[in-house]
Amino acid sequence: MTDMPKLHGSMVAIVTPFADGQIDYDALAGLIEFQISGGTQGIVPCGTTGESPTLSHVEHGDVVEFVVKQTAGRVPVIAGTGSNSTDEAVRLTQRAKDVGADACLIVNPYYNKPTQQGMFEHIQRLGEIELPIVLYNIPGRTSIELTPATVIRMYNEIEMVIAIKEATGKLDIASEIASACDITILSGDDSLTLPLASVGAVGVISVLANILPGEVRKFCDAIASDDLPTARELHLKLFKLFKGMFVETNPIPIKAALAMAGMIRNELRLPMSPLSDEYRDELARLLQGFGVELQA
């Protein structure tokens, strides 16, 4: 029986830093140590925030392997290994298992718009690899949405399905899922972490935690301890930055923030381009309000 990791609290959808077109592993190591020292409770490489669409398959596997080795068992590693090709997702997931990832994050198959049955069979096939699966329901990126009935069926019939990253923006979907089964629900939107917690979510896979891991951890701890006044206070305090991470397409703003702090180069792979100048001053002001020392 595969050990099932306990996923909860503040987890980070970590960026993939680049330098002159190549993966900057020195910067990535620094980011991982910054996350762990800041209290992050799980690291998610090669997701949307990690620019997985522009990583080669070799790079993808190498990044997951590097994160697993650098993390060294201190927190779970949930590798993004989804694809709109089941065979490709199988290869990426098998590699993640081989290098020691604790779980995989499987985005809904995008562009080809499968049926609910097709998505069920996709996850069923990935379950044969015996790496715990976190479903990733994000119709804004994929144009297809897992229905609550399909999520519940997957959880009940596919042993490896342990959690869902809920990014539909619809509280009723999380409520319906939580009312029918005990799958672990994780927020896929920083700004909805508190509302989702009210209907059963137990953590977040966060973008903002890349730059403020300690603040996001405090926020999640307040939620976990049922300290609603503190959780609400932190939610409202962080809200402008939660939204600021999406003034342009993720991960453009968070990479700009990390570059301002001197932690990475402000380098993305096309078709992603750096943050527009019109947003930079406001982002810098918000970061400085949380004590982030800016270098650029």
136 flagged as catalytic: yes
Q: Do 7 and 36 form a contact (C-beta atoms < 8 A)?
A: no
Please report how many Cα atoms fall inside a 13 Å half-sphere around the Cα of residue 26, on the Cβ side. 4
Q: Do 116 and 145 form a contact (C-beta atoms < 8 A)?
A: no
C-alpha angle 287-50-154 in degrees, rounded to nearest 5: 115
Q: To the nearest 5 percent, what fractions of the chain are helix, strand and coil?
A: 50, 15, 40
Q: Kindly name the residue from 165, 240, 255, 279 that is annotated as catalytic.
A: 165
Residue 76 token pair: 């779970």
110 flagged as catalytic: no
The end-to-end CA distance of the chain, in Å, is 49
Identify the residue whose tokens are 């998610």: 44
Q: Kindly name the residue from 97, 136, 155, 255 that is annotated as catalytic.
A: 136
- Distance between alpha carbon 212 and the CA centroid of its chain, in Å? 15
Question: What amino acid is encoded at 277 in this protein?
Answer: D
Helix (H/G/I), strand (E/B), else coil: 239: helix
Active centre residues (catalytic): 136, 165
